[in-house]
A = this chain, B = another copy of it.
């Protein structure tokens, strides 16, 4: 992985681990400042650009929620089957019906905050911008400031050139301010399925 003339970014295991750790820690929709810092941190472990980070979080969030949705619908179907089951005559109810489904109803439910706590002893830090103008909006990459992401040119041309961040003023704030992304995620899931 991380080949020279590859047409698309291929994350190194280190990078992937750190990205997943960040995601579990609550960073699901980093804004441009966050992306800049994540990028510069991860560039220590291999070639990476801001847009790779951007796309990774976008895809990971979408596919994570997709997975949750599927699991949820399976659960609902299961419930439905259970309802039918209990509607059926008692004579047919003597085989074990419960061992077929997934082991736990909502396996993800209580995990996030645990992970968030444990993730504090991670080695990297990155910056969190001050609360956005209206403190509800949590602007995304397109928000009031945009990323400068320059391609290192046509592939193969410049091997040691890590993507550089354009805006220098990077003051370090505290870690993991994200508050309640799980709830928001759940409501979103309930909204559209």
Contact = CB atoms under 8 A, between A and B. Distances in A.
Nearest to A143: B151
B150 A146 contact: yes
Interface in A145-173: 145-151, 154, 166-167
Q: Say whether chain A's binding surface is mostly helix, strand, loop, or mixed.
A: loop
A159 B81 CA distance: 64
A51 interface: yes
Contacts of A145: 149-151
Contacts of A148: 146-148, 166
Nearest to A148: B148
Interface residues of A, number: 16
A123 interface: no
Nearest to A150: B145
A51 B154 contact: no
The quantity of this chain's copies bound in the complex is 2
Contact of A51 (B133, B146, B149): B146
Contacts of A51: 142, 146
A179 interface: no
Interface in A79-136: 133
B144 A151 contact: yes
Contacts of A147: 146, 148
Contacts of A146: 50-51, 147-151
A50 B146 CA distance: 10
Q: Which of A7, A150, A166 has most chain B Cβ within 10 Å?
A: A150
A51 B146 CA distance: 8
A133 B150 contact: no
A89 B54 CA distance: 63
A154 B145 CA distance: 10
Nearest to A167: B150
Contacts of A166: 148, 166
